[in-house]
Chain A
Amino acid sequence: DAGITQSPRYKITETGRQVTLMCHQTWSHSYMFWYRQDLGHGLRLIYYSAAADITDKGEVPDGYVVSRSKTENFPLTLESATRSQTSVYFCASRGLAGTTGELFFGEGSRLTVL
């Protein structure tokens, strides 16, 4: 089915481990984004990508790595997870000119770092 999907939906890991959250969209949208949302807070932008092989930092990029070798995929990696990275992570995508620029969000990945 068309859309934007995230995996895993739930993940528990330990401090210091590497974790990768996957994001896949089927619309061929150019822009993709990773946000984190902590309990009681709004969404904060981690990284975004304007196209394949083009990525840039958002508000809170420290401790995260992204890549975008293919337009449809935008994985987010926590190279050495910390407890402060316990959060819900949302991936989003948007299209190009001629649209409202609407963001389409995935269902989120809930990450717990012990």
Chain B
Amino acid sequence: LAKTTQPISMDSYEGQEVNITCSHNNIATNDYITWYQQFPSQGPRFIIQGYKTKVTNEVASLFIPADRKSSTLSLPRVSLSDTAVYYCLVGGRNTGTASKLTFGTGTRLQVTL
């Protein structure tokens, strides 16, 4: 299973763009990269998923270089409500390895005025 490495914490001001990078050097061919967000006292929730290049949805963008050994979650114009812990996961979507999805320690993002 691919191990991921993320910064422990990040700080940002409201209105700025925040980029959180995740390293996954031993990502497998069938692995996807998925990001989750967790607010205090809540379970994590899915933000975005990608396999290569760029994926964008209504809340974030995910940039994946050609070698797929890292990925960057981009949050445009963050607000105070984006203060949360962000987790990067790497694994297959529908294969046996998808079963043992493991979370790292995540990146704690603190947004202030």
> Of B43, B85, B105, B106, which contacts A105 at CB under 8 A?
B43
Contacting pair B42 A108 (CB below 8 A)? yes
Q: Which of A12-20, A40-48, A65-73 contacts B (4 or more CB under 8 A)?
A: A40-48
Contacting pair A43 B46 (CB below 8 A)? no
> Of B43, B46, B100, which contacts A107 at CB under 8 A?
B43
Contacting pair A45 B102 (CB below 8 A)? yes
Per-position binary interface string of chain B over residues 82-113, scored 1 when its CB falls under 8 Å from any chain A CB and 0 otherwise:
00010100011110001111111110000000
Contacting pair B94 A101 (CB below 8 A)? yes
How many chain A residues touch B (CB < 8 A): the figure is: 29
Chain B residues near A1 (CB-CB < 8 A): none
Contact status of A45 and B100, CB under 8 A, knowing A101-B34, A101-B93, A103-B36: yes
Cα–Cα distance between A62 and B63 once the two chains are bound (Å): 38
Chain A residues near B42 (CB-CB < 8 A): 105, 107-108
Contacting pair B100 A42 (CB below 8 A)? no
Q: In the complex, what's the smallest C-beta–C-beta distance from A56 to chain B, in angstroms?
A: 7
- The answer, yes or no, to whether A31 is at the interface (CB within 8 Å) is yes
Per-position binary interface string of chain A over residues 78-95, scored 1 when its CB falls under 8 Å from any chain B CB and 0 otherwise:
000000000000101010
The 29 listed contacts between A and B (C-beta, < 8 Å) are A31-B98, A31-B99, A33-B101, A41-B105, A42-B103, A42-B104, A42-B105, A43-B44, A43-B87, A43-B103, A48-B100, A50-B99, A56-B99, A90-B43, A90-B44, A94-B98, A99-B93, A100-B32, A100-B46, A100-B49, A101-B49, A101-B91, A101-B92, A102-B34, A103-B36, A103-B101, A105-B42, A105-B43, A107-B42
Question: 10 nearest interchain CB pairs?
Answer: A105-B43, A101-B93, A43-B103, A42-B105, A97-B94, A102-B46, A42-B103, A100-B49, A90-B43, A42-B106
Question: Which A residues form the contact surface with B (CB < 8 A)?
Answer: 31, 33, 35, 41-45, 48, 50, 56, 58-59, 90, 92, 94, 96-108
